[in-house]
A = this chain, B = another copy of it.
Amino acid sequence: MAKKKEKPVILITNDDDITSPGIRNLVEAVKDLGKVVVVAPDKPQSGMGHAITIGSPLRMNRMNIFGDVEAWQTTGTPVDCVKLAVDKILHRKPDLCLSGINHGANHSINVIYSGTMSAAMEASIEGIPSIGFSLLDYRYEADFTASKMVVTKMVKKLLEKKMDKHLLLNVNIPAVPVSELKGIKICKQAYAKYEEDFDERLDPHGKKYYWLTGEFINFDKGKDTDVWALQHNYASVVPVQFDLTNYTLKKQLEKSKLFK
């Protein structure tokens, strides 16, 4: 008799905090596809990048907020959550790690600042296939219907085949109703940046303080970028790597003997 196939273990985390609608929608989208365990921060961690907590200890507490789904909140960053999940909760590597669904875009250069994507990257470094999902809508009331469809479809497809253990995808979904979603497009990261514009204010004691604000500027006019895909109502999928070596520049510097 064939051995019954075990359900895949799916670790879910995010950076908006464990009570955000985005992570609840992510749980709902995949809870029938495997054994889901949630380990997520107890407070918003947007813009935390790949931060880890080394100067203070971490706490974690069991939560009962997703019905049958095991859930833990931690005092750590998204990256800490992945580390804690593997070492202290699952005591094994999950088969897949999903991060999100983020409230707000993580396309183009945002991949570098994003707590959502850093959690996914941490999993990928550990040898766990991983995907970060983000919806281009910051609002608490955002409509996750199209996002959930994209999540379920992608996770099903990926679980059906043998995934590379370092697989890492950055998925963004446009804020459109299902009827307007054109499909899923494989893309490259657009070259874009934020033009800083700190908002300078005076406190009641006459001392200056600054709020970080900025304008998003896309320098990349290609049709193969995530920004283009999202502007044209596609969900964008950018395959991501954690080897940051610039091999072109490496060759140039070797050839130039500049530092000999």
Chain B residue numbers with a CB within 8 Å of A154 are 259
Q: Tell me, in angstroms, the Cα distance from A157 to B256 when the chains sit together.
A: 11
Q: Is A254 located at the chain interface by the 8 A CB criterion? A: yes
Within 8 A of B (CB), among A169-189: 183-184, 186-189
User: Binary interface profile of A, 112-148, with partner B (CB < 8 Å = 1, else 0)?
Assistant: 1100001001000110000000000000000000000
- Contact yes or no, B243 A80, CB < 8 A: no
Which A residues are closer than 8 A to B by beta carbons? Answer: 44, 46-55, 57-60, 79-80, 83-84, 86-88, 109, 111-113, 118, 121, 125-126, 153-154, 157-158, 161, 164, 167-168, 183-184, 186-189, 191, 193, 196-198, 200-201, 207-212, 214, 237-247, 249-250, 253-254, 258-260
Q: Which of A59, A201, A250, A254 has the most CB of B within 10 A?
A: A250
What is the copy number of this chain in the assembly? 2
- Contact yes or no, B59 A209, CB < 8 A: yes
Q: Which one, B59, B84, B239, B249, contacts A250 given CB within 8 A?
A: B239
Given contacts A49-B48, A198-B87, A246-B168, contact A259 B212 (CB under 8 A): no
Given contacts A183-B260, A239-B249, contact A125 B153 (CB under 8 A): no
Q: Tell me, in angstroms, the Cα distance from A125 to B216 when the chains sit together.
A: 13
Chain B residue numbers with a CB within 8 Å of A207 are 59
Q: Tell me, in angstroms, the Cα distance from A113 to B113 when the chains sit together.
A: 12
- Contact yes or no, B250 A246, CB < 8 A: no
Q: Tell me, in angstroms, the Cα distance from A153 to B109 when the chains sit together.
A: 32
